[in-house]
């Protein structure tokens, strides 16, 4: 098993923090877009949520690509990475979150506001790993 060097671990931690900051910004944007679409434009709440998801995942893709996973950016396929980012966020942000919320709320009786915070401990690291090692992976040489 390969041991991670100290500098690589520090770089990984910096990337995770940057990923988290961009995630926080996107969470705020998603909240504003969803509620703006719902309350100001009077769209269905699911339609508003989908619009926010599409917009904020794209913003996340652009920001993470430029500031977090920027190494060897020119060697990445833009479209392949974009599709993978949408897939990663769909897996963690839609599917996994729905499963966890069901288990926590319906089976364990945990209140929604606590369950959603608990989910971040699971979904954010998984999303980071999917993005770092899959979505933003460089083209094969």
Over residues 28-32, mean pLDDT: 94
In a domain, 141, yes or no: no
Question: How many structural domains comprise the chain?
Answer: 1
What are the contacts of 119-122 at 24+ separation with CB within 8 A?
Answer: 122/96
- Tens digits of per-residue pLDDT, 111-139? 988 988 899 899 999 999 999 999 998 76
In a domain, 140, yes or no: no
Question: What is the domain extent for residue 120?
Answer: 6-135
Q: Is the pLDDT of residue 48 over 70?
A: yes
In a domain, 120, yes or no: yes
In a domain, 80, yes or no: yes
Q: Is the pLDDT of residue 1 over 50?
A: no
In a domain, 74, yes or no: yes
Separation between Cα atoms, residue 132 and residue 64, nearest integer Å: 10
**For the whole model, what pTM was predicted?**
0.83
Residue-wise DSSP of 117-128: HHHHHHHHHHHH
User: Looking up tokens 């083209």, which residue turns up?
Assistant: 139
Over residues 40-53, mean pLDDT: 92
Reduced to 3 states, what is the DSSP secondary structure of residue 92? helix
Q: Is 15 exposed, middle or buried (0-12, 13-18, 19+ CB in 10 A)?
A: buried
């Amino acid at each position: 098993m390969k041991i991670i060097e100290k500098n690589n671990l520090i770089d990984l931690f910096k990337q995770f923090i940057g990923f988290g900051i961009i995630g926080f910004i996107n969470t705020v944007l998603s909240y504003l877009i969803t509620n703006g679409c719902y309350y100001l434009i009077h769209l269905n709440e699911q339609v508003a949520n989908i619009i926010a998801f599409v917009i904020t995942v794209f913003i996340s893709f652009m920001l993470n690509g430029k500031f977090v996973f920027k190494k060897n950016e020119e060697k990445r396929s833009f479209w392949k990475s974009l599709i993978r980012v949408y897939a990663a966020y769909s897996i963690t942000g839609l599917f996994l979150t729905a499963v966890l919320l069901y288990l926590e709320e319906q089976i364990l009786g945990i209140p929604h506001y606590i369950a959603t915070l608990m989910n971040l401990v699971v979904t954010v690291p998984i999303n980071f790993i999917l993005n770092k090692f899959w979505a933003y992976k460089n083209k094969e040489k």
